């Protein structure tokens, strides 16, 4: 499967965090996974397939680039669906 990093342009990271509802006015976001909390169920990769792919064990490998608006919407859905609250935006 193609790396999600190859699917969008790069923009500077402005820092901060968004756990699904905060900082909606910011225009750059990146997705992060807490590997301690994640159980590798893979729901996030189904809801945000352009941003998150899973490895051979089913654990998510999120894009390491800034996300566009469409991708941020998809990631917000994945954050809401994550049963372990292991996914967040920065």
Sign (positive or negative) of CA dihedral 54, 59, 63, 69: positive
Residue from 63, 75, 87, 89 in contact with ligand SF4 (CB under 6 A) = 87
75 binds ligand SF4 (CB under 6 A): no
Instruction: Measure the CA–CA gap between 48 and 25, rounded to whole angstroms.
Output: 21
Q: Is residue 61 at the binding interface for ligand SF4, with CB under 6 A as the rule?
A: no
| Smallest separation (angstroms) from ligand SF4 to the CB of 84 | 4
How far is C-alpha 35 from the chain's CA centre?
13
Residue numbers at the binding site for ligand SF4 (CB under 6 A): 33, 38-44, 60, 82-84, 86-87
């Amino acid at each position: 499967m193609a790396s999600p990093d190859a699917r969008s342009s790069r923009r500077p990271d402005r820092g901060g965090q968004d756990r699904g509802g905060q900082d909606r006015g910011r225009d750059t976001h990146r997705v992060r996974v807490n590997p301690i909390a994640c159980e590798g169920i893979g729901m996030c990769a189904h809801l945000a397939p352009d941003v998150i792919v899973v490895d051979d064990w089913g654990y998510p490998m999120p894009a390491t680039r800034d996300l566009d608006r469409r991708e941020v919407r998809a990631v917000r859905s994945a954050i809401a669906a994550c049963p372990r609250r292991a996914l967040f935006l920065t």
